[in-house]
Amino acid sequence: MVDSWSLAKKQRALELRARILQELRNFFIARGYLEIETPCLIPAPAPEFHIDTMVCHGWFLHPSPELCMKRLLAAGYDKIFQICRCFRQHERGARHLPEFTMLEWYRRDADYRELMEECEDLILHLAAALDHGNAICYQGQIIHLQKPWERITVHAAFEKYAALSVEEALVGDCFDEGLTARVEPNLGKEQPTFLYDYPLALGSLARAKKEDASVVERFELYMAGMELANAFTELTDAEEQRRRFVKEEDKRRRAGKPPYPVPEPFLESLQGLEESAGIALGLDRLVMIFADVLHIDDVVAFPPETL
Amino acid sequence: MYAASDLKKNLRIKIDNEPYILTEFNFVKPGKGQALYRCKLKNMISGAQFERTFRSVDVFEPADLQEKKMQYLYEQDGKYCFMDNESYEQILLTAEQVGDARNYLIENIEAEVLLFEDRPLGVTIANFMDLVVTKADPWAKGDSVSGNTKPVTVETGYVLQVPPFIEEGEKIRVDTRTGEYLTRVKD
């Protein structure tokens, strides 16, 4: 009785979720993308200091399918996408589930700017398919979707909203606090925002910008202050990628985190990778925007605490 | 000791020898960034509130508080009277000290009164309370879409959202932690 009531309340959100999944597939298939499935259970995740994985029989539940997706890219698959469950330990909050759904897509012969345009097209496609037209109302606020959306660099956003420079934030060890408390709430309010060009240290798998090697070609998409997607122009230099992995893994171990093996097949495959770009979008949060709800629990049938 | 990942709403921790309760708790984590725990803390004695953001490496001392079983007797002039079940001693709590529990207080129910060095700080009651609906709009037949709600008033004066089929005089079970309707109760 208790269960049926709390689940019945979610019916509309779950119906919307199913429609969004269907429309995402329609969008990518129409654009010539191939839907891919890669294993959730992997022997070696990408070492990232702030992402804790879950261990399962000595292997790891993938925190993202990126390594396998990039191996497929390197092998000549031009356009691929995947919708899958990802797992991240200790991540639980109004916008976080330890098991969540990710949409990732990858393209050869493209950089992060082209992915920004594809994000615009994707959200516009969903809005039209769900009868929203060119605007979405989220928590009483109208978000206009006409292209092009706002693009602002991390540097400019810190100057504008946090009243301090990125360098000051990094030296003062308060980048994440500044970003979440002062910058993010201002992004994607009247239209979606692309926050782009991150400091080199904050994009372990992203390519450095040609014109300015102190930043990497990475962006995050925001709607209503909520981070929806993270994208890179992919780093294709195998040696540079190995150096960054070693550095990141070293940082992890010094902090007492469990060691990860080096993902050798991935590093080897990079030698065959030409210019390409990839993006990961949190599906649950996308549904939150369209369902106009504040809590991620409202768009999944079973949050972990209810199991 | 608590780790940052143990933090949650209503957790009580000690800072500078005073008890604090987390009145708001938000887990935030920028993409590729570190986990941050943005909290609102309330001093359980002075009521003073402030915001603080913690990191995953931070640790916290639990607040050493005592919980005593007492019986709720009555309310008068905004004060709530409780009686110690062993000593029969009576104490008065303010509406603020009673907090949300006042939405569910009916005479003679058992409650746990929270004490910090003999000072009452708050009240906890059973997780589930059965309350009589004293005011409800009639059920418009045909309004059977699952997920629809309507407001009703229960015997304590508390107003909450329930499914449309609930009618005046019925008893409903309420989750006192969330304030939400759970199920209809048949006597």
Q: Which residue has the tokens 């300015």?
A: A212
List A residues 172-231 in contact with B (Cβ-Cβ < 8 A). Answer: 175-177, 179-181, 184, 202-204, 220, 227, 230
CB pair distance less than 8 Å for B27 and A96: yes
User: Which of A96, A176, A181 is opposite residue B34, by nearest beta carbon?
Assistant: A176
* A112-to-A191, A220, A276, A299 alpha-carbon distances in Å: 19, 10, 9, 29
Q: A86 and A102 in contact (C-beta within 8 Å)?
A: yes
Phi, psi torsion values for A88, nearest 5 degrees? -140, 120
SS3 for chain B is CEEHHHCCCCCEEEECCEEEEEEEEEEECCCCCCCEEEEEEEECCCCCEEEEEEECCCEEEECCCEEEEEEEEEEECCEEEEEECCCCCEEEEEHHHHHHHHHCCCCCCEEEEEEECCEEEEEECCCEEEEEEEEECCCCCCCCCCCCCEEEEECCCCEEEECCCCCCCCEEEEECCCCEEEEEECC
CB pair distance less than 8 Å for B32 and A202: yes
> Crossing angle, helix A112-129 and helix A11-30, to 10 degrees?
130
CB pair distance less than 8 Å for B33 and A5: no
**Residue-range definition of the domain harbouring residue A25:** 2-306
Min Cα–Cα distance to chain B from A48, Å:
8
Number of domains comprising chain A:
1
CB pair distance less than 8 Å for A180 and B181: no
User: Cα separation of B126 and B132, whole Å?
Assistant: 16
The CATH code of the domain that includes A78 is: 3.30.930.10
In tens, the pLDDT along B24-40 reads 999 999 988 999 999 99
CB pair distance less than 8 Å for B163 and A2: no
- Which residues of chain B make contact with A90, given a CB cutoff of 8 A? 5, 35, 56
Length of chain A: 307
| Residue, of B67 and B159, whose pLDDT is higher | B159
Length of chain B: 187
Q: What is the end-to-end Cα distance of chain A in Å, rounded?
A: 15
Q: Which residues of chain A have pLDDT under 50?
A: 1
User: Cα separation of A256 and A190, whole Å?
Assistant: 43
User: Cα separation of A204 and A134, whole Å?
Assistant: 35
| Three-state DSSP state, A204 | coil
- Which residues of chain B make contact with A9, given a CB cutoff of 8 A? 147
User: Cα separation of A198 and A231, whole Å?
Assistant: 11
Candidates A6, A90, A232, A248, partner chain B, best to mutate (most B CBs within 10 A): A90
In tens, the pLDDT along B74-115 reads 999 999 999 998 899 999 999 988 989 999 999 999 999 988
Phi, psi torsion values for B178, nearest 5 degrees? -110, -15
User: Cα separation of A147 and A121, whole Å?
Assistant: 8
CB pair distance less than 8 Å for B28 and A93: yes
In tens, the pLDDT along A33-72 reads 999 999 999 999 999 999 999 999 999 999 999 999 999 9
Residue ranges of chain B whose CB lies within 8 Å of a chain A CB: 5, 26-36, 38, 53, 56, 146-147, 163, 181-183
Rounded (5°) CA angle B169-B175-B177 = 140
Q: Report the predicted TM-score, pTM, of the whole model to 2 decimal places.
A: 0.81
Task: Find, among A215, A232, A92, the residue nearest to A158 by Cα.
Answer: A215
Residue B5 neighbours by CB under 8 Å, 6+ apart: A90, B35, B56
Rounded (5°) CA angle A100-A104-A110 = 160
β A193-199/A150-153 pair status: parallel
**pLDDT score, position B144:** 59
User: Cα separation of B36 and B54, whole Å?
Assistant: 6
Phi, psi torsion values for A168, nearest 5 degrees? -60, -40
β A34-35/A79-87 pair status: parallel
Element (H, E) at A21: helix A11-30
Task: Find, among A265, A289, A275, the residue nearest to A46 by Cα.
Answer: A265
Min Cα–Cα distance to chain A from B84, Å:
34
Fold: same for B2-62 and B129-185:
no
User: Cα separation of A234 and A12, whole Å?
Assistant: 38
Give the CA dihedral A203, A207, A213, A217, nearest 10 degrees.
Answer: -70
For domain B2-62, which architecture applies?
A: Roll (2.30)
| Three-state DSSP state, A277 | strand
User: Which of B27, B34, B181 is opposite residue A50, by nearest beta carbon?
Assistant: B34
Q: A128 and A233 in contact (C-beta within 8 Å)?
A: no
* Chain B residue with Cα closest to A184: B30
Min Cα–Cα distance to chain B from A132, Å:
23
CATH top-level class of B129-185? mainly beta
Min Cα–Cα distance to chain A from B7, Å:
11
According to CATH, the topology of domain B65-124 is OB fold (Dihydrolipoamide Acetyltransferase, E2P) (2.40.50)
User: Which of A1, A11, A220 is opposite residue B31, by nearest beta carbon?
Assistant: A220
User: Which of B30, B163, B182 is opposite residue A180, by nearest beta carbon?
Assistant: B30
Domain ranges within chain B, ordered by starting residue: 2-62, 65-124, 129-185
User: Which of A5, A93, A204 is opposite residue B27, by nearest beta carbon?
Assistant: A93
Q: The tokens of B172 are what?
A: 């409903």
* Interchain CB contacts (distance < 8 Å): A and B: 65
CB pair distance less than 8 Å for B28 and A180: yes
Phi, psi torsion values for B138, nearest 5 degrees? -65, 160
CB pair distance less than 8 Å for B30 and A9: no
Sheet strands side by side (includes A79-87): A34-35, A79-87, A99-108, A276-282, A226-233, A215-223, A193-199, A150-153
| Residue, of A1 and B182, whose pLDDT is higher | B182
Q: How high does pLDDT run on average in chain B?
A: 90
In tens, the pLDDT along A267-305 reads 999 998 999 999 999 999 999 999 999 999 999 999 999
Q: Which residue has the tokens 């654009």?
A: A31
**pLDDT score, position B141:** 66
